[in-house]
Amino acid sequence: MAASCRAGGTVGRRDTECILEPLSLPESPGDVAAVQSSPDVPCIFCQECYLLAEQNQLLKHMIIEHKLVIADVKLVADFRRYILYWKKRFAEQPITDFCSVIRTNSEASLEEQDNYFLLCDVLPEDRLLREQLQQKRLREILEQQQRERDDTSFHSVCMFCDQEFTGNRSVLLNHMAREHAFNIGLPDNIVNCYEFLAVLQGKLNNLQCLYCEKVFRDKNTLKDHMRKKQHRRINAKNKEYDKFYIINYLLLRNWWPCPCLLRMIHSLYTS
């Protein structure tokens, strides 16, 4: 399939001028969980709505029905806020002010050609939006982590020996590392610890090995397998765990947190 590309005609000087000030992001509750559990995400162009978990269906809808392609969408820190922002902007100005036009089948007759619109961070406004969303998400995550570090009401049960722990999450995590050789990382590197432990406990309840992720017929067989194979650890290749580690909120292409967030990160690890 041949394709030709041209940039939107008015992206240059006007866009540079319009991003001199911080962008106005859609309002939402400050709590990270509240944002993530928001019921739906609207299509940028029409009244169709999808659950946040159905992100891929929404992207497919916008490609098929509206010819819009969003580049590097996995690097967008807050998909819902990103979509809401561009829904507002596209209602204010033509799509060609923001998107490059990709013409498919350019060597065919005009009737057989299709124009697709590419929204990407080559556009300064899009790049700034992505950066601001990442800064905001990181700030929320750091605040959540600090609350967990300071929390003395933590209560949970060891998933290996059923011993109960209260106080701070670090007591349980250090116990599992010391007594059961199960180390998921330093407590200060982890966020949303309750959810993390619930995910791991759910796998064990389903008789699934945490490392190789095979399912076994009974609890004793699973325990023997994990002990003999030294599988009492998590599978680092499983992307499901990425959101529980602070480092993964920093590792974005060509991005590094602003000085105020760097100071916040430094204070977390030196206090």
Task: Give the model confidence (pLDDT) of 191-211 as tens digits.
Answer: 999 999 999 999 999 999 999
Task: Compute how many other C-beta atoms are within 10 angstroms of the C-beta atom of residue 226.
Answer: 21
| 55 vs 108: which has the higher pLDDT | 55
CA atoms within a 13 Å half-sphere pointing along the CA-CB vector of 155: 1
Element (H, E) at 100: strand 100-104
Average pLDDT over every residue of 243-252: 83
pLDDT at 12 over 80: no
pTM value? Answer: 0.70
Q: Give the rounded distance of the alpha carbon of 190 from its chain centre.
A: 15
| Calpha distance 148→142 (Å, rounded) | 10
Average pLDDT over every residue of 177-195: 95
pLDDT at 20: 39
Which of the residue ranges 40-54, 106-120, 203-217 would you say has the lowest mean pLDDT?
Answer: 106-120
| Calpha distance 31→241 (Å, rounded) | 20
- Whole-number Cα distances in Å, 270 to 116, 169, 188, 257: 50, 18, 11, 18
Q: Give the rounded distance of the alpha carbon of 236 from its chain centre.
A: 17
Quote the tokens at residue 186: 């330093």
Give the confidence band of 260 by pLDDT, cuts at 50, 70, 90: low
Quote the tokens at residue 135: 């800064």
pLDDT at 264: 52
Count the helices and strands in the chain (H runs, E runs). Answer: 9, 8
Nearest to 146 by CA among 184, 187, 108, 111: 187
Nearest to 149 by CA among 249, 271, 49, 247: 271
Average pLDDT over every residue of 134-153: 93
pLDDT at 29 over 50: no
Quote the tokens at residue 193: 């610890």
| Calpha distance 180→174 (Å, rounded) | 10
Residues 6+ apart with CB under 8 A from 153: 166
pLDDT at 240: 94
